[in-house]
Amino acid sequence: MGLAENNLDTYWMPFTANRDFKAKPRIITGASGHYYTTENGNKLYDTLSGLWTSGVGHCHPKIVEAVQKQVSTLDYCVTFQMTNNKAVNLAERVTKMAPKSIDHCFFTNSGSESVDTALKIALGYHRARGEGNRTRLIGRESGYHGVNFGGMSVGGMVNNRKAFSANLIPGVDHIRHTHNIERNAFTRGLPQHGAELANDLDKLCALHGGSNIAAVIVEPVAGSIGVYPPPVGYLKRLREICDEHGILLIFDEVITGFGRTGNWFASDTYNVKPDLITFAKGVTSGYQPMGGVLVNRAVCDLFEEDPDFVFMHGYTYSGHPAACAAAIANIDLIEKEGLVERAKHIGKRISQGLEALKSDGLLSEVRGVGAIWAGQIEGATTEQGLAVRDKMTEKGVICRAINGALAFCPPLIIEDQDIDHMIDIAEQAINEIMNS
């Protein structure tokens, strides 16, 4: 008897209509390189890198070996008042690839934890400098910053917020999202229109008083809502407004970090330096749960001026040695195989394929950067987008459908012929669903 028939009743799945899933279960039993293996032995090509995670592909022997070796040497070590050598080594590695002067690293276990940690650091920083009145936080409409209460509060995805709206943290406001398909139906590069939307932050400073705002958090590329790169000059303008009012700028790079945009971090891709960077996903390529916050030296120095200061925050598994070992091995692979630079080539190839579908009238918009892209299906509803996704799965290719768009975030090891196959399957599925 297979797993699907045996014990599904006990498993409550995240972000899933459980009853519908149980009616037609999809069980993954193995993975290798670009592919998943299902319970019935079918191969599924993974064009989303797991969940924006698996930059080096699945079950790479170097990372598997590193994790196995670590758990046989040091399986766990508390990181309160002591630590382990792997956590120390990883912090040094990650800070060296971060923008200049961002040189402290606090480890978490997920993107959600990273965001809430960053918000706490921002609030603590202002209190430490005698500005405890700075308690207001600013997010962005359609932004995604995880599912903890802090992240949901600054996030702007309606379906994630509405069930918990009465219990979200107070003192949070949002600037508008940047997507405008009428003005920015672009195929390559950044949207030309929309930088002025950053001035929403100026308006909120006038409304609430800039001296009462602690931090602004945005994704450099809005991923979960459908892959929206920032308009030209938008992030720079946010930086300018934050500097004018003494506000900390947080980049949520849980999706964009570790080579996805063609640089180690999107902050380098767009040449805008935040005060804090949240990360997760790509740091271990999903081999172990891990996240973290990179912090500007000036922020940490203020805390450390007080010799008795203790940041009263952390997690049992912060800096877990096996997760750190996976991350170090993952970074080694990315460096050795030149995958950061390869992301640029992948992006060029994907954009050419999607542009061809747009020329054929199947897509209304193409958007992306590096190795993260989306194509908006011409005239598709959300339901039709999901049907296209399901049809692609039937044909052996996994992708993500978001609001009538197909999102692609393949492993950084993907080959050109695999990209072409991915585009071909998308074309077939769109034609079958939209012309039925």
Can you read off the two tokens belonging to residue 374?
A: 């989306």
pLDDT band at 324, cuts 50/70/90? very high
pLDDT at 49 over 70: yes
Residue whose C-alpha is closest to residue 33's, from 42, 43, 21: 43
CA contacts within 13 A on the Cβ side of 73 = 13
User: How confident is the model over 143-184, as pLDDT tens digits?
Assistant: 999 999 999 999 999 998 998 998 999 999 999 998 776 665
DSSP of 81-123, one letter per residue?
A: S---HHHHHHHHHHHHHSPTTEEEEEEESSHHHHHHHHHHHHH
What's the mean pLDDT when you consider all of the chain? Answer: 94
Is the domain 64-336 a CATH 3.40.640.10 member? yes
Sequence ranges of the domains in the chain:
3-56+338-434, 64-336
Q: What percent of the chain shows pLDDT beyond 70?
A: 97
Instruction: Report yes or no on whether pTM surpasses 0.75.
Output: yes
CATH class held by domain 3-56+338-434: alpha beta
Contact status, residue 118 vs residue 276, Cβ threshold 8 Å? yes
